[in-house]
Amino acid sequence: MNKGSFLMNQEAYGRKLVDMRQIEKSVQYLIGSGMDPRIENNPYLGFIYTSFEERATFISHGNTTGMTKEYGDLKLAQVCGLIASDEKRHETAYSKIVKKLFEVDPDRTVVTFADMMRKKISMPSHLMYDGQDNNLFDNYSTVVGVDCQVSKIKKEVKN
């Protein structure tokens, strides 16, 4: 569990904001489903994938921050904001690495980038399941405004 997940878990548990038993059940389903980011032990693919994944996570937590403020939960908004700022730092670091790869090894980086775009980037939790909703991640993504399709990710890269 990373620092952001731990912080969110403690906040939700301590304030009884969600059914923690159901959250833990969903986490176990996700662990059981596994994850394949399609990076094939290739560090270039790993850095490219992670730079996009961190961007999407930043957007997700940032949008959740705004939503919690709208609903008047300033404490939860603060927690989400802290997590979003961590994700932004991660995105910045991985993006700098990818930028450097383009500088020092442009041919391989372009080929690898194209390969990653063809494979499509899926978020680690795209297989999230709660025992009932087969589209849990898609539904969540829609609510918080994170669409992880390649076209949306490409738009983010241009900006």
The pLDDT profile of the chain, 159 residues, written as one tens digit per residue, is: 567 777 777 877 778 878 888 888 888 888 888 888 889 999 999 999 999 999 988 988 899 899 999 999 999 899 999 999 999 999 999 999 999 999 999 999 999 999 999 998 888 788 888 888 888 888 887 877 765 444 455 555 555
Q: Report the pLDDT value the prediction gives residue 150, as an integer from 0 to 100.
A: 40
Distances (CA, A) of 4 to 19, 27, 87, 115, 117: 19, 15, 9, 30, 27
Whether the Cβ atoms of residue 94 and residue 54 lie closer than 8 Å to each other: yes
* Torsion sign over Cα 61, 65, 67, 71: positive
What pLDDT does residue 158 have? 53
CA pair distance 63, 140, nearest whole angstrom: 12
What pLDDT is stored for residue 146 in this prediction? 67
**pLDDT of res. 7:** 77
